[in-house]
Structure 1
Amino acid sequence: MPFIDLDAIDLRILNALQSDGRLTNQELADQVGLSPSPCLRRVRRLERDGFIRTYRAVLERESVGLSLTVFVEIKVEKHSRDNAQALQQALAAMPEVVACHMVSGTADFIAEIVVANLKAYEKFLTEKLLVLRMIGDIRSNFALTRVKSDAVLPLTHLKREAERREPDC
């Protein structure tokens, strides 16, 4: 795990930008209690150091015609590093796969698939997943209701350490 060198102001910046990545530098500076120049320097440092990976719009799935979410449990056929890596690469290349995790338990991977409808999922399953030789088994779990997604990361575990640091504006 990389060394995390964040103070309380850095955490306020990260929390504010997670909630609204479209804040202007002036609005962000006002929220975190800095003047604009030091605020912008901190944001640039957080970007450079990899704390902020990207900025993007989060679209409403149903509004863009993607109303079916399927959580797919995948078992790798003949467990090997090569099969696992090949599967990871194949899943990462599929735009319908919006999230994927290697897991422990009954499956090797869990992928979150977003498609328009059941017919689109059937096509995805038969034309993209079932053709992959490194897959041994697939279980599909259909989401009935989305309770929470696209949430901000909880940074409270960093708060105590950051509060001990003297802010460096």
Structure 2
Amino acid sequence: MDSLDREILFHLRQDGRLTNVELAKRVGLTPPPCLRRVKRLEDAGIITGYRARIDPAAAGRGFDVVVSLEISVNDLRTVEELETAISSYDEVVEFHRLFGRPDYLLRVAVEDQEAFETFLTTRIMGLRAVARVDSHLIMKKIKTDD
């Protein structure tokens, strides 16, 4: 990957809907070699997809909470069950296993505080491996990759 590839990635991260002609113009190439580079980046797994950016509040998911989880059971089967369950929840928009404590970090997006309480008490606290839950309300998003 060279500086031209990095520039292509920069522009596609800013606007994944750029036409190949516009992208080529921005990076100083003609369209055919630009398209070949993009295709190569896709084939190499560097570009993994394209998506729409959604306004969470407009979509009814403006209440954002970071949740840390500690688990009490560490056998592989239980960990896999927990990860499968949490990954399946539509409210969970990010899910990370960490080194050390806490064991997991989640970002949950729901409509409001009541929806979050329902999610937390019926979904997360009902999982048998969960030993401790800490919730942190997001005051302000300063930088995000969304």
* Fold conserved between structures, TM > 0.5: yes
Choose between structure 1 and 2 for higher RCO, CA contacts under 8 A separated by at least 6 residues. 1
Instruction: Indicate yes or no: 2:47 matched with 1:78.
Output: no
2:29 to 15, 26, 34: 34
Tell me how many residue pairs correspond in the alignment: 146
**1:138 aligned partner:** 133
Alignment of 1:43 onto 2:38: yes
**% same residue:** 37
Partner of 1:124 in structure 2? 119
* Alpha-carbon distance between aligned partners in 2 of 1:106 and 1:56, rounded to the nearest angstrom: 32
Which residue of the other structure, out of 20, 27, 37, is the alignment partner of 2:15?
20
Q: What is the Cα deviation at residue 104 of structure 1? A: 2.7
TM-score, structure 1 normalization: 0.82
The corresponding residue for 2:99 is 104
For 1:42 and 1:106, locate their aligned partners in 2 and report how far apart those are by CA, in whole Å: 41
Secondary structure of the residue aligned to 2:123 is helix
Question: Which one-letter code corresponds to 2:93 in the other structure?
Answer: V
1:84 positional shift? 2.2
Q: Distance in 2 between matches of 1:64 and 1:25?
A: 30
Bigger Cα displacement from structure 2, 113-122 vs 134-143: 134-143
Tell me, what secondary structure is at the counterpart of 1:101? strand
Contact 1:70 1:141 in 2 (8 A): yes
TM-score (normalizing by structure 2)? 0.94
Cα deviation code 1:70-99 (max 9, x no counterpart): 111101122222222222211211111111
* AA aligned opposite 2:116: Y
Large movers: runs of 4+ above 4 Å: none
* Distance across 1 between alignment mates of 2:126 and 2:32: 54
The aligned residue for residue 57 of structure 2 is 62
- Residue type matched to 1:142 in 2? L
Q: Deviations over 1:54-73 (max 9, x none)?
A: 10111111122212111111
Distance 2:105 2:113 in 1: 19
Q: What stretches of structure 1 of length at least 5 have no aligned partner?
A: 1-5, 152-169
